[in-house]
């Protein structure tokens, strides 16, 4: 994944639903894990089951620019329970854009992936998007806040993690 920087406009980015264990998804998630390692000193061990990202209770998207995978993100269904979820939640996971895209191109790719993931969750009947971010991911937190996400109490495995912040957005 070290090819030259794509030159196309991100509005031409092709989005494809792929299995979470598809080679392009695996490669992008591996790059994300390397990012976590550089920022936090460790990878995120909570990969999840690839089956969680299969319709109708989930979806994983890869964005291709100039035929090259450059962005990804997905959602998986969560419903009410002891972990702080609500019925109709779609937990957004593994949102990533390759670092070769910079500035507005990176922002555009991130926006396209986020919008597509949210739309897919709505089509599947999900009512609220939730996500987590590490406290050192300031740019990501600002991005999600600008996209309409607001802070909520930490949920799931992040409930007692002071290095994580959680967000939600009503999809209705």
3-state secondary structure of 37: helix
In this predicted structure, what is the pLDDT of residue 92?
A: 97
Categorise residue 66: left if φ over 0, alpha if ψ from -120 to 50, beta otherwise: left
- Give the DSSP letter of residue 41: S
Write out the H or E segment, with its range, that includes residue 119: helix 103-123
Which residues touch 119 (CB under 8 Å, ≥6 apart)? none
Confidence at residue 41, expressed as pLDDT on a 0 to 100 scale: 85
Residue 80 is predicted with a pLDDT of 92
108-143 residue pLDDT tens: 999 999 999 999 999 999 999 999 999 999 999 999
Q: Say how far apart CA 48 and CA 25 lie, in whole Å.
A: 14
For tokens 């895209």, name the residue. Answer: 101
> Which pLDDT score is estimated for 8?
65
Q: What is the pLDDT of residue 114?
A: 97
Radius of gyration of the chain (CA): 15
State yes or no: pLDDT of 1 exceeds 70. Answer: no
pLDDT interval class at 9 (50, 70, 90): confident
pLDDT in tens, 25-64: 999 999 999 998 998 888 887 777 899 999 999 999 999 9
Q: Does domain 10-170 have CATH number 3.40.220.10?
A: no
**Helix, strand, coil tally for the chain in percent (to 5):** 35, 30, 40
Measured between alpha carbons, how far is 143 from 121 in angstroms, rounded to an integer?
A: 19
CB count in 10 Å sphere of residue 11: 8
Q: What is the Cα–Cα distance from 73 to 98, expressed in whole angstroms?
A: 12
Question: Order of strands across the sheet with 164-170?
Answer: 14-17, 58-65, 68-78, 89-97, 128-134, 164-170, 150-152
Write down the domain spans for the chain.
10-170
Residue 2, pLDDT above cutoff 90:
no
pLDDT above 70 covers a percentage of the chain that reads: 95
Residue 12 has a pLDDT of 86
142 vs 8, more confident: 142
Separation between Cα atoms, residue 59 and residue 95, nearest integer Å: 12
């Amino acid at each position: 994944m070290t090819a030259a920087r794509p030159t196309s406009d991100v509005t031409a980015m092709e989005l494809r639903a792929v299995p979470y264990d598809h080679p392009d998804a695996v490669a992008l998630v591996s790059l994300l894990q390397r990012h976590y390692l550089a920022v936090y000193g460790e990878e995120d061990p909570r990969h999840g089951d690839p089956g969680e990202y299969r319709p109708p209770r989930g979806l994983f998207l890869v964005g291709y620019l100039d035929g090259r995978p450059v962005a990804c993100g997905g959602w998986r269904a969560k419903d009410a329970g002891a972990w702080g979820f609500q019925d109709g939640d779609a937990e957004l996971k593994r949102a990533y854009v390759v670092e070769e895209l910079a500035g507005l191109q990176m922002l555009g790719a991130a926006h396209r992936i986020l919008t597509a993931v949210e739309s897919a969750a709505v089509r599947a009947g999900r009512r609220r998007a939730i996500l987590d971010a590490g406290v050192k991911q300031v740019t990501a937190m600002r991005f999600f806040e600008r996209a309409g996400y607001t802070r909520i109490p930490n949920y799931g495995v992040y409930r007692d993690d002071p290095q994580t912040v959680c967000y939600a957005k009503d999809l209705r």
